[in-house]
A and B are shown apart, each in its own frame.
Chain A
């Protein structure tokens, strides 16, 4: 009887996970109101005077901290859903992940600049550059990890067990940094170059849409997702940054 019950529950879960008839897509865009800020050029200088940066390339380096397209769309915003309790239940799926995400170092830049992943996901840090890097991971100003990585050497693997925002930096090339945001479920996205995002297969319900951007700060919007999904625009005001 117990076995039957277990099989039935697992079967229902599998069915609901594979094809939730009530799931909708949350689509939207993150915008910055007002004039579009000019791209900021990064001043590239070695940490130690006299060190060569030739291996990093001589291209002009534009800051990735605030990238806004002509229509005001903000790239590299992190968007995720926080469920609102319904009928005493919290519609939130905690998923243990065995996924692997790759953060590469190319021409002395971390690629991609912003990632979102689930707890348990392994972050593989690769060095495709012909120069060594010094990878450091910070959370709330505290350093969690510090490793040298020689040119095109073995990858570094780091597992994020808890949700939160993590900053990855190179200790040799001061401009190099990336953000890894760990969210307790799969309902999350990073905004594209035009500020757009999409979170597919969201179960019907009420949510709070959370947005975080490294220079603009945080916003949240209450949304209701039905079978047709939901369109939402999140706006940031000029000068309302944080961090």
Chain B
């Protein structure tokens, strides 16, 4: 009788230990998910509306790895895509301010001061500074 009691007791300990391990595992998994959020990178984005007359905006953002300059500006303004030059993925409008070929007004993107950037291709790094500028060229 005593041995049966010991056996049931061990069974309950086993079940309790299993439940504890499963619970702990779940917590560890949740912890991993939270750390993936921590893996976002800091970038700065500035949007200058130039001749469109809207006030410029600058923001410091935490963005997901793999983000592009176009992704980043999309976080703070509605962006429309369209072929201003060569590809339908180009930025055609930011916050309703469209490229205007007749007025010779365009959106230009700079990354850390350089225009050698693919607005929808270049993957941003931590600390990058993205500048979107609406400008008008002489004609």
Query: For the complex, what is the distance from the CA of A63 to the CA of B115, rounded to whole Å?
Result: 27
- B70 within 8 Å of A (CB atoms): no
- A44 within 8 Å of B (CB atoms): yes
With beta carbons under 8 angstroms apart, the residue of B82, B99, B104 that contacts A177 is B104
Chain-B contact segment, one of A76-84, A97-105, A135-143: A135-143
Query: For the complex, what is the distance from the CA of A161 to the CA of B67, rounded to whole Å?
Result: 41
Residues on A lying within 8 angstroms of B by beta carbon are 42-45, 48, 63, 65, 136, 138, 141-143, 146, 167, 169, 171, 174-175, 177, 214, 243
Q: Count of chain B residues with Cβ under 8 Å from any Cβ of A? A: 17
- B139 within 8 Å of A (CB atoms): yes
Question: How many whole Å from B90's CB to the nearest CB in chain A?
Answer: 9
A146-B85, A171-B85, A177-B104 known; A141-B98 Cβ under 8 A? yes
A143-B84, A146-B85, A146-B86 known; A214-B102 Cβ under 8 A? yes
Total A-B residue pairs with C-beta atoms closer than 8 Å? Answer: 47
Are B139 and A63 neighbours in the complex by a CB distance under 8 Å? yes
Are A167 and B85 neighbours in the complex by a CB distance under 8 Å? no
Q: Could you say which residues of chain B place their CB within 8 Å of the CB of A214?
A: 102
Query: For the complex, what is the distance from the CA of A161 to the CA of B92, rounded to whole Å?
Result: 25
28 A–B pairs (Cβ distance < 8 Å), ordered by A: A42-B138, A42-B139, A43-B138, A45-B138, A63-B138, A63-B139, A65-B139, A138-B101, A138-B102, A141-B100, A141-B102, A142-B82, A142-B83, A143-B83, A143-B84, A143-B101, A146-B86, A167-B101, A167-B102, A174-B104, A174-B137, A174-B138, A175-B104, A175-B137, A177-B101, A177-B104, A177-B139, A214-B102
Q: Could you say which residues of chain B place their CB within 8 Å of the CB of A167?
A: 101-102
Residues on B lying within 8 angstroms of A by beta carbon are 82-86, 92, 98-104, 115, 137-139
Question: How many whole Å from A146's CB to the nearest CB in chain B?
Answer: 6
Q: Taking CB as reference atom, which chain A residue is nearest B103?
A: A243
Query: For the complex, what is the distance from the CA of A69 to the CA of B77, rounded to whole Å?
Result: 45
Question: How many whole Å from B67's CB to the nearest CB in chain A?
Answer: 26
Are B139 and A175 neighbours in the complex by a CB distance under 8 Å? yes
Residue of B84, B92, B99, B139 contacting most chain A CB atoms (<10 Å): B139
Query: For the complex, what is the distance from the CA of A146 to the CA of B137, rounded to whole Å?
Result: 19
Question: How many whole Å from B6's CB to the nearest CB in chain A?
Answer: 83
